[in-house]
């Protein structure tokens, strides 16, 4: 993590739903992804009467490039993203890296959002998971054909296949690599312990692959009664792409 406060960048947005909707959601994607890949959440929320906004994180999509790719830098950027009237978000939904950044932002400013939903969040990344993530990103950048994505994820919707290829093409490989190397100690569990807003984790199935599982998940849940969790059966690290119907059903239940 950076010793001094990172310099923020302004994040580009995509939107779903009526701008005047009474409920507003912010969607924050994971490493090597993009705002567009949060489309499942955006379309579902719009159908339920929400207005949803997704952002490209620094170094991803159309967002500005920078030198600092610490979790603190990502968090500082998303913390500056507010609804048009400057009020709090009704919910922030963050996946993986986006979940870590959103956790840090919400812990620092309880008035930023009224609720958090964390999708297999990267609150702690140990050596084993760091290696898995690094190798996955290397494979992705080495062969960014839609056929390769389909072979690895045959259950994904065609939109997800196309948008994943586009996200990798538009992301900075250097930024993705630096996100791993600059966060050699990747641990925002203290921020999770300090959360005061209702927070629900949509966890991946550890029988497939999950970042937030085992002793790490148990300790975080035990440390803060504001945090609850459900697991999406059969889903890997991206439940909204692996098991979208189940993920959205659990999201609706969490928001109720």
The answer as to whether 6 is a domain residue is: no
User: What is the Cα–Cα distance from 141 to 78, expressed in whole angstroms?
Assistant: 25
Is residue 3 one of the residues assigned to a domain?
no
Tens of pLDDT, residues 83-136: 988 899 999 999 999 999 999 999 999 999 999 999 999 999 999 999 999 999
In whole numbers, what is the pLDDT of the chain averaged over residues?
96
Q: How far apart are CA 161 and CA 145, in angstroms?
A: 9
Looking up residue 102, the CATH number of its domain turns out to be: 3.40.50.1820
Question: Looking at the domain assignment, is residue 122 inside a domain?
Answer: yes
DSSP-assigned beta bridge partners for residue 95: 119
> Using one digit for the tens of pLDDT, what is the confidence trace for 44-92?
999 999 999 999 999 999 999 999 999 999 999 999 999 988 899 999 9
Does residue 7 lie within any of the structural domains? no
Rounded to an integer, what distance in angstroms lies between the CA atom of residue 116 and that of residue 93?
6
Please give the distance of CA 110 from its chain centroid, rounded to a whole number: 19
Host domain of residue 88: 13-255
What pLDDT, on a 0 to 100 scale, did the predictor assign at position 3?
52
Tokens (6 digits) for 125: 């990344």
Contact 198, 247 (CB under 8 A): no
Instruction: Indicate the SS3 state at residue 186.
Output: strand
pLDDT at 2 over 50: no
For the sheet containing 23-28, what is the strand order? 13-16, 50-55, 23-28, 91-95, 116-119, 199-203, 227-231
Total domains in the chain come to: 1
Please indicate, yes or no, if residue 5 is contained in any of the structural domains: no
Rounded CA gap, 42 and 52, in Å? 5
Cβ atoms of 61 and 34 closer than 8 Å? yes
The per-residue pLDDT for 141 is 96
Domain annotation covers residue 189 = yes
- For range 138-149, the mean pLDDT: 96
Q: What tens digit of pLDDT does each residue of 202-256 get?
A: 999 999 999 999 999 999 999 999 999 999 999 999 999 999 999 999 999 999 8
Residue 13 has pLDDT above 90, yes or no: yes
Q: Within a domain: residue 232?
A: yes
Query: For 17-51, what is each residue's pLDDT tens digit?
Result: 999 999 999 999 999 999 999 999 999 999 999 99
Residues in the chain: 256
Phi, psi of 102 (to 5 degrees): -70, -35
191: helix, strand or coil = helix
Evaluate whether residue 4 is within a structural domain: no
């Amino acid at each position: 993590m950076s010793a001094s406060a990172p310099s923020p960048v302004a994040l580009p947005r995509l939107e779903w739903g009526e701008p005047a909707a009474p409920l507003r959601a912010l969607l924050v994607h994971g490493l090597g992804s993009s705002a567009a890949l949060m489309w499942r959440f955006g379309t579902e929320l719009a159908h339920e009467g929400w207005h949803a906004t997704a952002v490209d994180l620094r170094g991803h999509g159309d967002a500005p490039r920078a030198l600092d790719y610490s979790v603190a830098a990502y968090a500082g950027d998303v913390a500056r993203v507010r609804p048009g009237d400057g009020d709090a978000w009704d919910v922030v939904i963050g996946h993986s890296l986006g979940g870590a950044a959103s956790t840090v932002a919400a812990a620092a400013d309880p008035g930023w959002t009224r609720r958090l939903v964390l999708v297999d969040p990267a609150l702690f990344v140990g050596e084993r998971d760091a290696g898995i993530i690094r190798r996955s990103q290397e494979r992705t950048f080495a062969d960014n054909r839609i056929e390769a994505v389909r072979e690895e994820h045959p259950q994904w919707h065609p939109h997800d296949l196309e948008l994943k290829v586009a996200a990798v093409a538009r992301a900075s490989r250097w930024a993705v690599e630096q996100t791993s190397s600059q966060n050699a100690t990747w641990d925002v569990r203290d921020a999770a312990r300090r959360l005061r807003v209702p927070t629900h984790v949509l966890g991946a199935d550890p029988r497939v692959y999950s970042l937030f599982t085992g002793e790490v998940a148990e300790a975080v849940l035990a440390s803060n009664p504001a945090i609850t969790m459900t697991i999406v059966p059969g889903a890997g690290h991206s439940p909204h792409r692996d098991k979208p119907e189940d993920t959205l059903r659990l999201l609706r239940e969490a928001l109720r």
